[in-house]
Chains A and B, each alone.
Chain A
């Protein structure tokens, strides 16, 4: 699992294991500007401020260049967080279009936080 924190609003969204950033945000009721959803067009890129991601499919170099990867550009439809990440959206802000899904996600996030091992004092 991972928590995606959205900069600068600070919204926190829970992602189950192995879920892509795009898949997780949509499953939590959010929407933003996306394209083919299969790694071909590059429209769903965001900037990764903290944390790392792993791509669950090969991504073409002309969709996500080596420089972009180094700069922390994240192709959200194919990126699975390695752990908690912080992202900033580029064109247009992340918008909540399904509050019901968002409230379910909040429950999952709180449950996950409650069951996580507590750091020792």
Chain B
């Protein structure tokens, strides 16, 4: 069955105490472990041990983890990655606390990706036995789960090919200079393995950099409430609440205390492999990114970690 989802984002922060306050008290994540200068978190509706890892020192992304359904999927993906020309190494269980063995490789965009088949199961905060709809005492925004990330790459088409061939992802939307794929230059691509509208997006830009990583929310009401909490906690809001034309998701972009961009993201229509790709031309990219303002702020492509 292959890749199920982006399982974790491991990021650097300049001040661990401030970062912990943000991710625990503003975002409402649950801390599951603190060890060797790293802090591990999960959202209330996640069952695996962690989906966010913070590490003190610097800014930006260390690596992303992607979870496959079966252990045997690792062999398949390792082989496909090698066929694509990537250098793949095996990682052993416990290299990442509470994470199974797996594989690791560096993408053409110079991001580190890990693929694993298991994490220690903690269970959601509502359990599985006659569960309630949500936990009663959520903190801050109370995000249920990690959703996706947007990364930069010099060569978006190459990255799209990599995710297609190695992860069996398919693109749901794209920004391209020509509607004919063969003639087009790809500026950005949104990709997934299932009905989730995107698990990863790639935008043309500086290698190895992070644009944002996003947490899931349900709807406009939750996105609006999230923005209210950000104001209460003096979190710098980049833009929003607004809608993305691309994916149709409702969003707030904001910054963590180290300047890493976060997003809360709700909605997005269901993705299918046989649904024709939505294609955006560069002259309409502003409407694609920020559907209401229809104007890109100067930060969208210049501010990143």
Contact = CB atoms under 8 A, between A and B. Distances in A.
Interface string B15-35: 100100000000000000000
B259 A39 contact: yes
19 contacts: A35-B302, A35-B303, A36-B259, A36-B260, A36-B261, A37-B255, A38-B236, A39-B259, A40-B59, A40-B60, A40-B259, A40-B260, A41-B259, A41-B302, A43-B303, A57-B18, A59-B14, A62-B59, A63-B259
Interface in A33-58: 33, 35-41, 43, 57-58
B298 interface: yes
Contacts of A60: 12, 14, 57-59, 258
Contact of A38 (B57, B60, B259, B304): B259
Interface in B194-252: 236, 238
B256 A38 contact: yes
Nearest to B22: A38
A60 B62 CA distance: 14
Interface of B: 12, 14-15, 18, 57-60, 236, 238, 255-261, 298-299, 302-305
A37 B58 contact: no
Nearest to B56: A58
Given A36-B255, A63-B59, A41 B14 contact: no
A61 interface: yes
Given A40-B259, A43-B302, 6 more contacts: A37-B236, A38-B256, A39-B258, A40-B260, A43-B299, A62-B59
B304 A41 contact: yes
Contacts of A36: 236, 238, 255, 259-261, 303, 305
Contacts of A39: 14, 59, 258-259
Nearest to B237: A37
A38 B257 contact: yes
Interface residues of A, number: 16
Contacts of B299: 35, 43
A44 B238 CA distance: 14
A113 B43 CA distance: 52
Interface in A1-48: 33, 35-41, 43
A58 B59 CA distance: 11
Interface on chain B toward A: helix, strand, loop, or mixed SS?
A: loop
Contacts of B12: 60
Contacts of A61: 58
B58 A62 contact: yes
B232 to A, nearest CB: 17
A48 to B, nearest CB: 20
Contacts of A59: 14
Q: Which 7 A-B pairs have the closest CB atoms?
A: A40-B259, A35-B303, A36-B259, A38-B259, A36-B255, A41-B303, A37-B236
A33 B302 CA distance: 11
Nearest to A38: B259
A70 to B, nearest CB: 20
A43 B222 CA distance: 31
B64 to A, nearest CB: 18
Given A35-B259, A59-B14, A60-B59, A40 B302 contact: no
A44 to B, nearest CB: 10
Nearest to B210: A40
A59 to B, nearest CB: 7
Q: Considering residues B259, B304, B305, which has the most beta carbons from chain A within 10 angstroms of its beta carbon?
A: B259
Contacts of A38: 236, 255-259
A40 B305 contact: yes
A33 B297 CA distance: 11
Contacts of B298: 33
Given A35-B303, A62-B59, A40 B255 contact: yes
Nearest to B259: A40
B152 to A, nearest CB: 13
Nearest to B236: A37
